[in-house]
Structure 1
Amino acid sequence: MSKETAAPAQSAPELYVSSPGRPPKETTFREWVVVNQIGISLTILAMLLALHNLYPSLRPYTQPFFELSYYDSAANSYVQGWDDVYFVASAVLALTAIRAIAIEWILQPLARCAGLKRKGSVRLAEQGWQALYYGFIWGVGLYLWKNSHYWFDFGAIWDQWPARPLSGLMKWYLLVELSFLIQQIFVIHVEERRKDHYQMLSHHIITSTLLSSAYIYGFYNVSNVVLCLMDIVDFLLPSAKILKYLKFQNACNVAFGIFMSTWFVTRHILYNVLTWSILKNIPAKMPYGCYSGGELTSTNGYPNALAYMFAPFRSLENPICMNGTIKWIFLSFLISLQVLSIVWFAMIVRVAYGVICTGAADDSRSDEEDEVEANIEDATNGSVRLAAKESVSATPVVNDTAPGLDGRRSNGAASMRARGRGRVPFDQSDRKALLGRIGCDKPT
């Protein structure tokens, strides 16, 4: 063979790609963590438990991982402190293992038994875990709120501040909620990145910062109310998605309507009433100044520059001060959460309004994830035709990561993605198409 006609030598990467019997792609660290999260979490917890049981001299160091710290037997109550960080760390590991076990060993096999394919079973399992956790933790929070002195009396929330003792159940509830938020930050980074990654990351960071700061400052009551108002919505949305995946169309339609109504009432009415109570009742019921041992010791709310803000974080013995600056720091976090909720709810309303009133929906959250079917068989002009023919079926699927609505369409091998803000036309008279756009049916 001549030099001109000889095939060029292939580099190692080219041979790797072109070889039909190439080895599997090398696993990244992120993928390894996802696959082994059960083993990693349980191994660390087992090691801590072994040290706790086999070496009694180490129990003062290992006990905070498994038990609530700072118990006052005389008052039968708890206070907060830095040892609570160990409990949060072990709870993050436990929640990681429980979530993976529930999804991979229980919920996904049940979804397969219900007739769902691999992708659908994974999605149902993920939503099932969300529904299980939020249903349970919301029940605990509602029990604490219902049996409190501030049940639907937002002004009474501030009556006992800055009393720092709290019940064991309240402390466990707040620390588990904080652990779940931290664990969610881990989940959205190690698993496949979603369209609203940064919105969810911002939400979890703001909420975890707000909750941990409120815990240190003794704002247990307001934390309980805020979490109850948030968690009910996070329970209803995955419940509606589960009904959708199981093809309970009418039930999904009803559940989605309940979800939207509950979202509006809890996150945009009651939440704002709570925010207004902070503006109104501080300093009316919570006079500005510094408190020590629950007593007002100084009316000077600015004792030494900014150091007073971090004094409660350093030691329980340090005073807690309240003034306009601290008030507005907490308010800014609450308002930030409200802004995120408004953005998400506006997207939901926009899609629902477009479907019901115009017969076409323009979902601004769908730039990255919407898959519009395209036929590329026209080789003469290289044009791309959208698969809008009757012979092509489209199956919208509700977005699994945040309270918006994304449509997904697939068409086998001869299809491609086309991203953009274009409207997706469909027949308004087709009831299945309408339900499909809100995530309750699969239109054909």
Structure 2
Amino acid sequence: MADVHPERKERNAYLSSGRVKETTFREWVVANQIGISMTTLAMLLALHNLYPSLRPYTAPFFQLSYYNESTDSYVQGWDDIYFVFSAAVALTGIRAIAIEWVMQPIARASGLKRKNAVRIAEQGWMAMYYGFIWVVGLYLWKTSYYWGDFAAMWSQWPARPLSGMMKWYLLVELAFLMQQIFVIHVEERRKDHVQMLSHHIITSALLGSAYIYAMYNVSNVVLCLMDIVDVLLPTAKILKYLKYETACNIGFGLFMSTWFLTRHLIYPVVCWSVYHQLPLNLTYGCYTGATSEFISAEPPNAFAYMLGPYFSLDNPICFNPTLKWMFLGLLLIIEGLSILWFSMIVRVAYGVVCGGNAEDSRSDEEDEAEVEDQPAHSSVHLAAKDGVTVETIEGEAPPGLDRRRSNGTASVRARGRGRVPFDQSDRKALLGRIGCEKPT
């Protein structure tokens, strides 16, 4: 009799002994993302409609707060946190519905096996979200007074009113970052978990602080430069899974070109604008929170002035070289991460162009069979904005590693004779994640 697969033998042992494998809280949350998010929103909506006395407290979850009818504009405030929370919950449910109920069934109906169906669903959600939010951001930038003139980004500071569309755009982008922090903690942890978490925290702190300090313009520009990459990469990945190799190669080339243009040419110009043009167009000092009238050239307190705008719109809003360097430092950290990730991608692309060998000893059918025996867990990470690392673009274990869920170990099964400057199994993983892998 043929040997029984170790995982199947373990499952049979559980059944024969009458024991059922317990589900961890994390696994339960992953399996019930739709139910949890939809139930939370339904409860808030029920309280809002059934109890009119609670509407002042529930309304901020469903609509933008701090509207001024006389100017037809909005300002910031603590109630914006409720909108960010409900938007993050909604994005969690929409993401799970799009992947599990729409994109994955369509992919399976098209004849794809579970592995590629899950991958296409994940990349489809990324392309859908970033494609939509990038169009919104580009529209705001294109119709603004600072289109094509980075120095103009600082000319009207600290004017705090903003349009409803701009406020919605910035809060949804912040909610998406919050949702991604939730995702990387509840779903299976990746090797680059620390890098991803660090990137999300830095980006969230930068976007949130820029929103509080009324720097909407530079936030809009930076987000547009980042989001376009996240539209192109998932599109190239989808073409790869659909076996359109030529279109995939063209898409990947467009992705690399756009990455270099937006993140390493235009983005440094934005950083230079913060360093050089901001002091020329923005007078250092303190302004009234409500009317933006100049008060004094020196902050009243060396530390408290930085926290004042966080607590109340009526508190003075101040800006000096210290705050400039804090904002610029966070922007440069993100640029440093982008340079690191881009160098990894270029390294792999160079190996492909030079004809390096990256084949895997296992056939596609064997790899599919292993995946079919395991439950599919959808996972979506920020690609370029979260750092297009080779570990997070596709959200899977590197090919050549046979993961055993029973003991958490992995055995390396990759071979190859390609003349490349790093390990073949690692190179195989890199190729698969940027769309350059071809089936052997």
Q: When the two structures are superposed, what TM-score results if normalisation uses the length of structure 2?
A: 0.83
Extract structure 1 runs of 4+ deviating beyond 4 A.
Answer: 15-20, 390-395, 399-402, 410-413, 433-438
> Which of 125, 128, 132 is 2:128 aligned to?
132
Deviations 1:317-372 (A, max 9, x none): 011111011001111110111111111101001111122236257xxxxxxxxxx9
Asked which structure has the greater RCO (Cα within 8 Å, sep 6+), the reply is 2
Q: CA contact under 8 A between 1:127 and 1:238: conserved in structure 2? A: yes
Residue in 1 aligned with 2:295? 297
Secondary structure, in 3 states, of the residue corresponding to 1:85?
helix
Residue in 1 aligned with 2:311? 314
**1:57 offset after TM fit, Å?**
0.7
**1:440 offset after TM fit, Å?**
4.2
Q: Quickly say closer, same or farther: Cα 1:136–1:412, change in 2 above 3 A.
A: closer
Quick check: which has more Rg, 1 or 2?
1
> Which of 392, 417, 420 is 1:425 aligned to?
417
**1:233 offset after TM fit, Å?**
0.5
**1:294 offset after TM fit, Å?**
1.8
Aligned partner letter, 2:302:
A
Q: Quickly say closer, same or farther: Cα 1:423–1:264, change in 2 above 3 A.
A: farther
Q: Does 1:193 align with 2:185?
A: no
* Identical-residue share of aligned pairs (%): 65
Q: CA contact under 8 A between 1:130 and 1:235: conserved in structure 2? A: yes
Q: Quickly say closer, same or farther: Cα 1:358–1:118, change in 2 above 3 A.
A: closer
Q: Quickly say closer, same or farther: Cα 1:324–1:348, change in 2 above 3 A.
A: same
Residue in 1 aligned with 2:256? 260
Determine the C-alpha separation between the residues in 2 that align with 1:308 and 1:247.
Answer: 57
Higher-helix-fraction structure: 2
Please list every run of 5 or more consecutive structure 2 residues that lacks an aligned counterpart in the other structure: 1-9, 369-378, 392-397, 405-409, 421-427
Aligned partner letter, 2:412:
A
Determine the C-alpha separation between the residues in 2 that align with 1:227 and 1:333.
Answer: 14
Residue in 1 aligned with 2:16? 21
Q: Quickly say closer, same or farther: Cα 1:90–1:213, change in 2 above 3 A.
A: same
Q: Does 1:223 align with 2:223?
A: no
Q: Quickly say closer, same or farther: Cα 1:442–1:357, change in 2 above 3 A.
A: closer
Aligned partner letter, 2:194:
Y
Residue in 1 aligned with 2:399? 408
Determine the C-alpha separation between the residues in 1 that align with 2:246 and 2:186.
Answer: 35
Q: CA contact under 8 A between 1:393 and 1:411: conserved in structure 2? A: no
Secondary structure, in 3 states, of the residue corresponding to 1:417?
strand
Determine the C-alpha separation between the residues in 2 that align with 1:211 and 1:357.
Answer: 40
Q: CA contact under 8 A between 2:402 and 2:412: conserved in structure 1? A: no
Determine the C-alpha separation between the residues in 2 that align with 1:245 and 1:255.
Answer: 13
Task: Report how many residues are paired.
Answer: 396
Determine the C-alpha separation between the residues in 2 that align with 1:339 and 1:423.
Answer: 33
**1:282 offset after TM fit, Å?**
2.3
Determine the C-alpha separation between the residues in 2 that align with 1:19 and 1:435.
Answer: 39
> Which of 77, 83, 104 is 1:81 aligned to?
77
**1:405 offset after TM fit, Å?**
4.0
Residue in 2 aligned with 1:9? none
| Equivalences for residues 210-359 of structure 1 within 5 A | 210-292=206-288, 293-300=291-298, 302-357=299-354, 359=356
**1:121 offset after TM fit, Å?**
1.0
Secondary structure, in 3 states, of the residue corresponding to 1:297?
strand
Q: Quickly say closer, same or farther: Cα 1:392–1:44, change in 2 above 3 A.
A: closer
**1:242 offset after TM fit, Å?**
0.8
Residue in 2 aligned with 1:57? 53
**1:113 offset after TM fit, Å?**
1.5
Secondary structure, in 3 states, of the residue corresponding to 2:64?
coil
Q: CA contact under 8 A between 1:392 and 1:411: conserved in structure 2? A: no
Residue in 2 aligned with 1:380? none
Deviations 1:386-408 (A, max 9, x none): x49x999889xxx9854244651
What's the RMSD between the two structures over aligned residues?
Answer: 3.0
Determine the C-alpha separation between the residues in 2 that align with 1:355 and 1:70.
Answer: 54
Secondary structure, in 3 states, of the residue corresponding to 1:283?
helix
Q: CA contact under 8 A between 2:85 and 2:175: conserved in structure 1? A: yes
Please list every run of 5 or more consecutive structure 1 residues that lacks an aligned counterpart in the other structure: 1-14, 362-371, 374-386
Residue in 2 aligned with 1:66? 62
Secondary structure, in 3 states, of the residue corresponding to 2:145?
coil
Secondary structure, in 3 states, of the residue corresponding to 2:207?
helix
Q: Quickly say closer, same or farther: Cα 1:391–1:436, change in 2 above 3 A.
A: closer
Aligned partner letter, 2:411:
R
Deviations 1:239-288 (A, max 9, x none): 11111111111110000000000001101110000000011112110111
Q: Quickly say closer, same or farther: Cα 1:231–1:159, change in 2 above 3 A.
A: same
Residue in 1 aligned with 2:371? none
